[in-house]
Amino acid sequence: MNVALYISQKIRFNKGQSFAATVIRIATITIALGMAVMILSVAILKGFRDEIERKIYGLNAHFTINGLSESAYELPDIPNANALAGALSENPSVKSAVVFAQKPAILKTGSQLQGVLVKGYDLKHLPTGFAQITDANLSKTLADTNLVPIIVSTKQANLLQTGVDSVAWLYFLQNPPKFRKVQVVGTFTSGLEDYDNSFIFTDIELIRELNTWPSGTAHGLEVLLKDQENWIYEAGKIEKSLPVELGITPVTQRFAQIFDWLQVIGRNVEILTILIIIVACFNMASTLLLMVLERSPMVGILKTIGANNLQVRNIFLLTGIRILLQGMLIGNAIGFLLAWLQWQFQIIPLDPENYYMSFVPIAWPWTDFLVINLITLTITALSLVLPLVVVNRISPVKAMKFS
């Protein structure tokens, strides 16, 4: 039988009289709260990152291939864009390659005017993430309208006092100016200010007609890769195979502010985690020290009957680890429960104007949760060794004399 483990299991503190018992309860609560905060922080951070990346990558892919230009809105045309998209689609690292064209215009509905950037796709092959943000039933609406179909944001629809099935006019800024009668076939809400304020979507054939382009010409391609983690490396390999007149624009460059914001949040979570672990170490070390001092008569008796310092230290070390595990278990339960409630019922709302989504998102990175628990357990358990040095200084004679 392991004597140290047996004695540590038998140690009990009188809740009404023992000061150490109160300190133990405080330490357990502190560790539990710290663990709950760390679990929630990681779940929310991962949720933010996944949700924003889903929207950005879904609408913009990982990078754009286009001709070299000083303006993001005025791009040179690529005559063989469709052929290039077909070639890229055969690359094993590419998930999809979608051609696009764009043109500035003014959208007019009744007496309302709005400057927009008209972005043309093949509406039967929209970017991967577009279906997740639009309420347009394109298979139905494209067949029902004889006009040019457009998809506008919910924000634009409210501003222009229009909606699905409404008719509007697009005035294109070119020489000579041209206009087209269009019909709203759907609305979208991306949560990305750049899109919701400025973009409307239509069929790419409209842009080709206005620019008198032959079939297959476009302004660029949006490429989505299969590897979500190492896509920057794969993008670099693809760029080397492109003609010299073409280059790539990573989505991280276009939405640099958003990705920088995510990095700042991640850094704050890391700092918070470090501070929580430091507090947990300090609490457990002080708690264990109080336990040793309050139980010094027991230490004297154990030493008198032949226990050495290592055996006595192990008793308190195992007791401290038991308290630590109890606090971590409670903290994990609280953290996962709160995260599940938010994930299931979306209790805490957000302002989409500032956070790109309407509620606090939750993700479940189980590997990260496991790593946090292991790091907290290891570092805090190691911090318990230092206060146990006081066991060596407890004299059996003095301890029993003042017992």
> Are 223 and 96 spatial neighbours (Cβ–Cβ below 8 Å)?
yes
Give the mean pLDDT of 184-190: 83
Considering the entire predicted model, what is its pTM?
A: 0.81
**Token representation of residue 15:** 């809740």
User: What's the pLDDT band for 14 if we cut at 50, 70, 90?
Assistant: very low
The H-or-E segment that residue 114 falls in is: strand 112-121
pLDDT tens profile 343-384: 999 999 988 777 878 899 999 999 999 999 999 999 998 888
Does 17 have pLDDT greater than 60?
Answer: no
* β partners of residue 183: 149, 167
- pLDDT score at 338: 97
Tokens 């394109």 belong to: 138
Kindly report the average pLDDT of the chain as a whole number: 84
What does R_g of the chain's alpha carbons equal in angstroms?
32
> Are 4 and 318 spatial neighbours (Cβ–Cβ below 8 Å)?
yes
Does 53 have pLDDT greater than 90?
Answer: no
Render 276-315 in DSSP notation, one character per residue: HHHHHHHHHHHHHHHHHHHTHHHHHHHHHTT--HHHHHHH
Tell me whether strands 112-121 and 199-203 are parallel, antiparallel or unpaired.
parallel
Give the mean pLDDT of 290-294: 79
Give the mean pLDDT of 104-109: 93
Q: Which residues contact 93 (CB under 8 A, 6 or more apart)?
A: 225, 226, 227, 234, 237, 238
Closest to 22 measured CA to CA, from 13, 31, 30: 13
User: CA-CA distance, 50 to 304, in Å (whole number)?
Assistant: 61
Q: Which residues contact 289 (CB under 8 A, 6 or more apart)?
A: 387, 390
- pLDDT score at 20: 67
**Token representation of residue 49:** 């990152």
Tokens 């070119």 belong to: 174
Domain segments of the chain: what residues?
3-55+258-401, 69-244
Tokens 């609305």 belong to: 187
User: CA-CA distance, 180 to 145, in Å (whole number)?
Assistant: 14
User: CA-CA distance, 10 to 104, in Å (whole number)?
Assistant: 78
Q: Which residues contact 219 (CB under 8 A, 6 or more apart)?
A: 66, 67, 75, 76, 77, 78, 81, 100, 101, 102, 207
Looking at the chain, the whole-number percentage of residues with pLDDT higher than 90 is: 38
